[in-house]
Structure 1
């Protein structure tokens, strides 16, 4: 199996500017004052190299200003909250990277969720599209019921099918269980490219709870990747070519999922 280093969360660390060094002007000091300066220096706390100076015992919050010592402090950058992206077609590069069914998801900090919704309404329309998130805010699974299917009519039967880059995390699994218990006429099937936290007890508990709530859990096999490519990817009429070990990795995950759900 490829890519064995796992990254479970998304984080962005803003670059910090190095402190601006200013050469102090050397001035001659009379001999009688040197002793006094040494005594004053001994009373001052020693500052470690690279350590921020403190004011009144509390480190400043990084206001961008030049102090008397000529040092430049940079105010920490505040990143905007991550947003859920909704669309109809995925970039083919993103699909091939995010849906690749490697054993561990190194560098793959997003969840891509492709959906089909058949509510058996009179117009017979089937909703389709995809959601994209980053593991730092609302996840795609929860966002689906906020943005795509916020309303529920108990008189209708809903058939919802997801093709996701990785299976739901334990927190999302718990929320999905609540939704399925509240929406009795909704049937959810989840095809996952990879299993998320399948080695952890909480991850296994979440998958078992989903299955017990009536959710059908499946791993994506090569034909499912091909279907998703044709249906949800801006492929410019290019045929899907499975990556190396695609079938072998599917069989690996399928065995793990069967062991968890037995």
Structure 2
């Protein structure tokens, strides 16, 4: 499996911090934000990684990360997203890099306390389709929200006014190679972007989507409040821990049955 870190966008919600740099280069406690999602992938045994970036500071990623020596890597790949085409548009740039292999995609401002090792192993065993990670949150209306029927996801709604569950779809997704064909069928949403929620719903309609619940805390870092929260959480507990709970996730069957495997 190959890894894709999506680190484009203009970061307008963090202006003026992002006036002279990319959001994902801002500090979260004692490290640049981009370090955390890369470490998440490396901890899960994914070492062939592509960074998708954009904007005016794209060259700074190469200055900071080089070939990934800080993560024990021998090589990092980079590509550039022009404009604001959305998450699915950014992922489409990874098609040649994926070269028919499955991909684990993580948004560049996603930071987790634990790890995704178990989820990655489960998806490798799954063999095809898609897997997403969910987390219970107090304000699901801010995120993509799954409607659940037992262990099955019925549909995902993006930022619903009346959420059908208290779960959020966090920015970690696993897809087989068909994801790139799916993206080619998408039409831009009302905000002019290709939406990753539309990708996920196509997999759901096909009956090819599974999910796991992330254990430990999770946060994005795309607003002033969440950036501060992320720094405080990392300072208090650390991030990307390999020894958290039962490999950092619970499967959908464990969640709905209330037991741990």
Q: Which structure carries more relative contact order (alpha carbon 8 Å, separation 6+)?
A: 2
The structure that has the greater radius of gyration is 1
Greater strand share, structure number: 2
TM-score (ref. length: structure 2): 0.23
TM-score (ref. length: structure 1): 0.23
